[in-house]
Amino acid sequence: MAILSINNLTFRYKNKFVFDNFNLEVERGSWVTIAGPNGAGKTTLVKILAGLEKSYADITIFNKPLNKKNMYDIRREIGFVFDNPDNFFACETVEDELAFSLENLGVFPNTIKKKIKDVAKILKLDDLLKENPCDLSGGEKQKVALATALMLEPRILVLDEALLMIDVKERDEILKTLKEYNKQKRVTILSFTHNLEEAIYSDRLIILNKGVITIDGAFPEVFSEERVMRKIGLEVPFAIELSEKLKVYNIIDHMELDLERLVSLIWK
Ligand code: ADP
């Protein structure tokens, strides 16, 4: 069942068209990565979904049309995490930042405390709870922004280059954590990125270029179109390239995207 559907989206900035009759359906509980080079339209699409840009489209989320009347209810159940968390923090400590939205909703302090503990554990933020979010590194700030979104237990998590500043090792751990979260809580993840490595745990990968879906398929089979990805300027992850070659030589029998597992398969 579709949790989100966009029909006939046409959008332009002044006289520059970004989308012309764009359509997309996202299944409930799936993890969909929308990847594309700079200028593809990713941020514009996120802004439209967040109600920050107005569009004339038929957009339905949680079976409700996205319009002025429903915007607040719909947005309450979507966690948006943007690329630059600097403009985002309102509180003096990470702990207060995590509590902020739930306090505004009148949630009991004990419930909030427990949630902070759980989310901090998931994202390994325990040591940062008393820090000022503005003093943290870029990667830490992004983790706090993600944690803030998880505090509200969203039905859809929208990530807009949300892991860009987190170092590779930690990013991979967060991606794994998000996959568990996606499976256990049936949270739909819609991840926008220029980095195909972030698609590793997706169910579906969509390649967007100049406002048009050029590739759309199950992951990782969709990588058979790697030439198209290169052509539009996307870097194909090393594990994908290597897997492809090892399959040709019958050294492995399936695509393996996790480099550690790939290495152990080769050494078997
Ligand atoms: P992406 O996030 O994939 O890099 P964007 O959604 O930021 O793509 O941009 C899509 C297109 O819209 C690009 O050609 C970009 O130059 C243009 N664009 C983005 N924001 C604005 C704006 N505020 N005014 C005019 N053009 C814009």
* Domain ranges (residues) in the chain: 2-235, 237-268
Protein residue with least CA distance to atom 25, ligand 1: 13
Is 65's C-beta closer than 6 angstroms to any atom of ligand 1?
no
* Ligand 1 probe mutation, 44, 159, 212, most atoms within 8 A of CB: 44
Q: Which residues contact 149 (CB under 8 A, 6 or more apart)?
A: 79, 80, 81, 157
How confident is the prediction along the chain (268 residues), in pLDDT tens digits per residue?
899 999 999 999 988 899 999 999 999 999 999 999 999 999 999 999 999 998 888 999 999 999 989 999 999 999 999 888 777 788 889 999 999 989 988 999 999 999 999 999 988 899 999 999 999 888 888 999 999 999 999 999 999 998 888 888 888 889 988 998 899 889 999 999 998 889 888 999 999 999 999 999 988 778 777 777 888 888 888 888 888 788 888 888 877 777 778 888 887 7
Indicate the pairing of strand 56-61 with strand 64-65.
Answer: antiparallel
**Interatomic CA distance for residues 232 and 36, integer angstroms:** 8
Q: How many angstroms does the Cα of residue 41 sit away from the middle of ligand 1?
A: 6
Residue-level pLDDT at 11:
95
Helix (H/G/I), strand (E/B), else coil: 22:
strand
User: With a 6 A CB cut-off, is 154 part of the ligand 1 pocket?
Assistant: no
Ordered DSSP codes for 58-125: EEEETTEE-STTTHHHHHHTEEEE-S-GGGT--SSSHHHHHHHHHHHTT--HHHHHHHHHHHHHHTT-
The reply to whether ligand 1 has any atom less than 6 angstroms from the CB of 193 is no
Atom 23 (ligand 1): residue with closest C-alpha? 13
44 C-beta closer than 6 A to ligand 1? yes
pLDDT score for 232: 85
pLDDT of amino acid 70: 93
Q: What is the pLDDT of residue 84?
A: 80
Can you give the pLDDT at residue 9?
96
- Determine which residue's CA is closest to atom 11 belonging to ligand 1: 39
Instruction: Map residue 210 onto helix, strand or coil.
Output: coil
CA 44 / ligand 1 centre spacing (Å): 6
- The residues that bridge with 34 in the sheet, in sequence order, are 192, 206
- Hey, what are 15's tokens? 């006289």
Contact yes or no for 239/259 (Cβ under 8 A): yes
- Determine the topology of domain 2-235 in CATH: Rossmann fold (3.40.50)
Stretch (H or E) spanning 212: strand 212-218
Distance 87 CA to ligand 1 centre (A): 19
Ligand 1 centre to CA of 10 (Å) is 14
- The pLDDT assigned to 59 comes to 95
Neighbours of 216 (CB within 10 A): 14
Ligand 1 pocket residue status of 233, Cβ below 6 Å: no
Backbone angles phi, psi at 145, to 5 degrees: -60, -40
Burial class (CB in 10 A: 0-12, 13-18, 19+), 166: buried
User: Quick check: CB of 68 below 6 Å from ligand 1?
Assistant: no
d(CA 91, CA 84): 16
As given in the structure block, the two tokens for residue 229 are: 């990805």
pLDDT digits (tens, 9 = 90+) for 180-233: 889 988 999 999 999 888 988 899 999 999 999 999 998 877 877 777 788 888
**How many other CB atoms are there within 10 angstroms of residue 39's CB atom?**
13
Q: Which atom of ligand 1 is nearest to the CA of 37?
A: 3
Coil, strand or helix: which one is 38?
Answer: coil
